Homo-oligomer: A and B are copies of this chain.
Amino acid sequence: MASIEADLEDLTARARIREAALRQFGELGFERATIRGIAETAGVSSGLVRHHFGSKEALREACDEFLVKTLRRVRDATFDDPMLTRANPVAMAQAAFGPYQPYLVRALVEGRAEPLFDEMVRAGEQWLAEADAERADPPFADRKARATVSTAMALAVTILHRHVSRSLGVDVASPEGAHLLATVILDLHSHPALSPETAAEMRAALERIRPA
C-alpha cells in the first residue's frame, strides 16, 4: 500500500506534486487548497506545478485519472481476499481507498469520480446476482437499481465519518471504531427493518400514489 507520508523524497517532482495535491485537495477541498501550498508541501516552486500540469483544474484531473488507475490495481489485489473483505467491509473500504480517502469522498460528493462509483455499483450487481439466486420472492426493483442504492449506502459511513464517529463516541478510523461499525452493519444487514407485512402495506400505499 502506497503511503503519502513516507518517502516523498524518493518520488519524482511530478509525482510529489500530485501526491501533495491529493493530500491538500482532500484536507482542504479544491478551492481552499492553493497552488503555492501544494508546491510547498511537495518541496518545489509554484512555477513547477504549472510547468508540469498547466493549471489547477488540469492538476485535479490528473489526480482523478491517477486514482482511477491506482484504485483499479488496489481493488484487484484487495477483493481477492474474501475472508478479510467480507468480515469487515469498513476495513476493506479503508484499505481500498487508502490514504486518498478524503480526496475521494470530496470527489464523490461533488458528483465526480464517476468511474469509481460505477465500478462499485457493478461489483454490487455481481454480489446481488448471487444473492438473488437464493431468494424466494421476486425483488421489487431492477438489480442495478438496488445495487446503486446499496452502493450509496455503503459509502455513507465514510462520507459522514465525522458525524458517525461523534455519535458512536469512537473514531470509525480506529480499530475499535471499525470493529463496532462492522458489528452494527452486520446486524443491520442480517435483520430486515421492515416485516413482510408492513413492507407489503407500504408498497401498496406507494403504488396508490404512483406518478404517471
Interface 1/0 per residue, A69-95 and B, CB below 8 Å? 000000000000001001110000000
Within 166-193 of A, Cβ neighbours of B (below 8 Å) are at 166-168, 175-176, 178-193
Question: Which of B152, B163, B205 is the one whose CB lies under 8 Å from A164?
Answer: B152
- The secondary-structure label for the interface of chain A is helix
Select from chain B the residue with minimum beta-carbon distance to A132.
B191
User: What copy number does this chain have within its complex?
Assistant: 2
Question: Which of B140, B144, B180 is the one whose CB lies under 8 Å from A167?
Answer: B144
**Docked CA distance A138–B185 (Å):** 15
Question: Which of B105, B150, B168 is the one whose CB lies under 8 Å from A148?
Answer: B168
Question: Which of B108, B156, B180, B212 is the one whose CB lies under 8 Å from A153?
Answer: B156
Is A190's CB under 8 angstroms from B184's CB? no
Asked if A183 meets B206 with Cβ closer than 8 Å, knowing A149-B157, A192-B192, the reply is yes
> For the complex, is A22 an interface residue (Cβ under 8 Å from B)?
no
Shortest CB-to-CB span from A32 to chain B, Å, is: 6
Is A166's CB under 8 angstroms from B114's CB? yes
Is B191's CB under 8 angstroms from A192's CB? yes
Is B203's CB under 8 angstroms from A186's CB? yes
Within 96-141 of A, Cβ neighbours of B (below 8 Å) are at 105, 108-109, 111, 114, 117-118, 121, 131, 134-135, 139-141
Question: Which of B152, B202, B212 is the one whose CB lies under 8 Å from A87?
Answer: B202
Shortest CB-to-CB span from A132 to chain B, Å, is: 10
Besides A139-B191, A145-B168, A176-B211, 20 more A-B contacts (Cβ < 8 Å) are A29-B31, A86-B205, A105-B109, A109-B109, A109-B159, A109-B160, A111-B162, A117-B167, A118-B167, A135-B191, A140-B183, A140-B186, A152-B164, A153-B156, A153-B157, A156-B159, A178-B211, A183-B203, A190-B192, A190-B198
Give the B-binding residues of A (Cβ under 8 A). 29, 31-32, 83, 86-88, 105, 108-109, 111, 114, 117-118, 121, 131, 134-135, 139-141, 144-146, 148-153, 155-157, 159-160, 162-164, 166-168, 175-176, 178-196, 198-199, 202-203, 205-206, 209-212
